[in-house]
């Protein structure tokens, strides 16, 4: 069964009314998981040691100091802190690291159902609803704690994972792949952005495109990764490429998320047998619930092998 790492602290990160990254997103995820054969695990608090593998102390301390006693503190144009944001963000980081530990000890699949998301957070910049680079931290934890030298980080959120790219730009032991609508926020993710070692692959997708274009972009990349034989696969699982999502303009459906998840699980099945997926975007609640259900159901097929 898929191991789901979550915690009620994820409900305590509260954005202002009308903000798309809302508490109800986590409730929608829970609705998508209802009835699926999963095991539940408490996401622990992430450690300062884990954060420091990707962010300098001054960034960590700046976020901690900005958390308000009440109401909201705004850290950029669309990123806010509430009194519960610090614990929620640390649970998201801790959940990813614990999920990595879990699949390293016993191969299979894990899904981290936490918020805030993380893939826009750069080394010293919180942005795009994100405070810390959760998946990048998870990849560096895998390297530091488990001695891995080939980690694949795959991002299918509709927005480019600029933060993950920034945090892993110089890291030759991690291959980062991001598919995303182009052009769109945050303005990064051109195909020519390749990383210090050529280990980054960006897959820009035109607005209005759907599953056929996504399959054509991802298939050769996954074939290439199969030859590389990753020891762990970590996913930035954003579901805002769905045709119903209000923040973007791709036309994916639930079966597109299922297809891509299945293809990624086939990659893992032929190499390491280990996938950790972490929630990123997805802002239409019904589409989010249905897409998470399709995603986790496919993760379960790897877990059952």
Tokens of 95: 């959940």
CATH number, position 38: 3.40.800.20
Judged against a pLDDT cut of 80, whether residue 304 lies above it is answered with no
Residues of the chain with pLDDT > 90, as a percent, come to 99
Catalytic residue among 119, 120, 141, 159: 120
Q: What does the pLDDT average to over 63-84?
A: 97
pLDDT at residue number 159: 98
Residues of the chain with pLDDT > 70, as a percent, come to 99
pTM of the model: 0.98
pLDDT in tens, 118-139: 999 999 999 999 999 999 999 9
Q: Is 120 in the active site?
A: yes
Rounded CA gap, 139 and 236, in Å? 11
pLDDT at residue number 303: 66
Q: What does the pLDDT average to over 12-18?
A: 98
The residue segments making up the domain with residue 77 are 2-304
Q: Which CA distances in Å does 202 have to 90, 143, 154, 156, 189?
A: 28, 23, 10, 11, 6
DSSP 8-class letter at 10: G
SS3 state of residue 9:
helix
String of DSSP letters for 122-141: BTTB-BTTBSS-HHHHHHHH
Number of domains observed in the structure of the chain: 1
Average pLDDT for the chain = 98
Q: What does the pLDDT average to over 27-38?
A: 97
Tell me the sheet residues that pair with 177: 154, 201
Residue recorded with tokens 């795959």: 154
Measured CA angle at 145 (ends 140, 154), to 5 deg: 35
pLDDT in tens, 89-103: 999 999 999 999 999
pLDDT in tens, 262-282: 999 999 999 999 999 999 999
How confident is residue 150, by pLDDT bands cut at 50, 70 and 90? very high
Q: What does the pLDDT average to over 36-64?
A: 98
């Amino acid at each position: 069964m898929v191991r789901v790492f979550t915690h009620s602290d994820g409900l305590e990160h509260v954005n202002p009314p009308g903000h798309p990254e809302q508490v109800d997103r986590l409730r929608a995820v829970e609705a998508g998981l209802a009835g699926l054969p999963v095991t539940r695990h408490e996401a622990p608090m992430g450690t300062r040691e884990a954060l420091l593998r990707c962010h300098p102390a001054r960034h960590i301390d700046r976020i901690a100091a900005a958390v308000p006693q009440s109401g909201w503190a705004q850290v950029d144009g669309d990123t806010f802190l509430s009194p519960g944001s610090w614990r929620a963000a640390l649970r998201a980081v801790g959940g990813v690291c614990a999920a990595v530990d879990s699949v390293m000890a016993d191969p299979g699949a894990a899904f981290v159902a936490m918020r805030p998301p993380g893939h826009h957070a750069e080394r010293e910049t919180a942005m795009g609803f994100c405070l810390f680079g959760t998946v990048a931290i998870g990849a560096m934890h895998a390297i530091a704690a488990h001695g891995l030298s080939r980690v694949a980080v795959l991002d299918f959120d509709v927005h480019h994972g600029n933060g993950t790219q920034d945090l892993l730009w110089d890291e030759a032991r991690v291959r980062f792949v991001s598919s995303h609508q182009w052009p769109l926020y945050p303005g990064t993710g051109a195909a020519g952005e390749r990383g210090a070692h050529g280990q980054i692959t960006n897959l820009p997708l035109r607005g209005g495109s759907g599953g056929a274009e996504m399959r054509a972009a991802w298939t050769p990349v996954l074939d290439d990764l199969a030859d590389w034989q990753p020891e762990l696969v970590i996913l930035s699982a954003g579901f805002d490429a769905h045709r119903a999502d209000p923040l973007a303009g791709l036309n994916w459906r639930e079966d597109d998320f299922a297809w891509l998840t299945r293809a990624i699980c086939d990659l893992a099945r032929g190499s390491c047998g280990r996938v950790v997926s972490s929630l990123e975007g997805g802002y239409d609640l019904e589409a989010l619930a249905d897409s998470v259900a399709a995603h986790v159901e496919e993760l379960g097929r790897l877990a059952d092998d």
